[in-house]
Structure 1
Amino acid sequence: MTFANETKSIVIGGTSGIGKAVATALANRDGTVDVASRSTGLDVKDEAAIAAYFDAQGPVDHVVFTAGSSAPGGAVADVPFDAAKQAFDTKFWGAVAVAKAAARYIKPGGTITLTSGFLARRTVPGTYVKTAMNAALVAVAKILAKELAPVRVNIVSPGLTDTEAYAGMAVHARATMLNKTAKSLPAGKVGCADDLAAGYLFAIDNPFVTGAVIDIDGGALIN
């Protein structure tokens, strides 16, 4: 896609991690980038707040949703419903609310790019919340690609990515996890935020891509 001075992009979840890398990459192009997240005061669980945000922004060319949630792990029989619902409220329903609000303002030829995760298509016991949430997002993205055409809607599916999301782990435990995963992947490394940002830019730039799941997972799905 051609970026000009009047091109406007929005990154929801763009103040940290993958979203920040996407926002930084877009900021290096012509046009403007608006970044919103919980830290800027936007709660993606609040549909009215999302609608008001897009009303204030007006026409937009590209919308990226990278806001995530801390999904609880554990067996289906053990995970409390409240914890599972809270995760869905942020990542799944938040993404739907953003797409719904953005659809009113997205310009012809514009794009919406959502975020899932490789667990959407990988069976791993103890991860049902992430699996269900990400699989649901993939399904919705494909429906949106048909309903909103010619606006292009795609979804990036990351594998393990070294971001602030793991900042709460002990340094040694984090390093051990990342190194173990890197050795197990065909790519021989875990992702970094810039690796993933390139996938969002691909979805934005290629006019022949819509309804696609863009896997950037170091080969996790073929392991």
Structure 2
Amino acid sequence: MSDSLINALTQIWAYQRRRPAIIRSGTEALNRLIPVALSRTASGNAVGHFLLGLYDGATFRFDIKQLQRLSAQEFEDCLQVLEMDYIPEVEVHERVEEGETVWRELMEVWRTQPQEHLGGVPLRQPTRTCGATRSRAVNAKGMKAFDHLLQAAESSTGQGRIAGLFLMSLIHHNHYRLNLTDLRGLDLALFEACVDMLRMHYQANTEVQP
């Protein structure tokens, strides 16, 4: 058995052990996000479209730049829900009470609304980063993730196509809106690279570097 296969199996086994905690924290995050998503606010617009994208990614393609409009807590909650949805034992709306009703309301509120900040309010103003050490760690993981995704994108595979579209959605968000459910088609290492890239992208665009 090759070292690469052993490493992949070890990573998958470790992930399966973490999965119950991922579901627990993701469900808690989802319950915090739903009231935000139902509010007719800037954050509500971004979170509402994000949750609809997890429900039906082909119809509700997501503009990644919208995550920059969220507070740090809202952003991390979105990532926790995204991580929970990577292996969907059930669909996202089934994670909460009366989920079908909630998602019908989300569609009524946001189906006809543009995926942009209400009232023309600009993106979130940069805020002080939580610490130089964490900032460097996020950047280091993000750059490593970028290299991994770029290498995958250069391959002529289904995963390569998804990785390429993900990168293009970060660079040219106006032209490449992401089908969030496509991320389920990535292997674990590539999916986690996407999450690391999202953290670096958010930090770079919303935090004042020390």
Does TM, scored on the shorter chain, surpass 0.5?
no
Structure 2-normalised TM-score? 0.27
Which structure is higher in helix share?
A: 2
TM-score scaled by length of structure 1: 0.26
Higher relative contact order (Cα pairs below 8 Å, separated by 6+ residues): 2
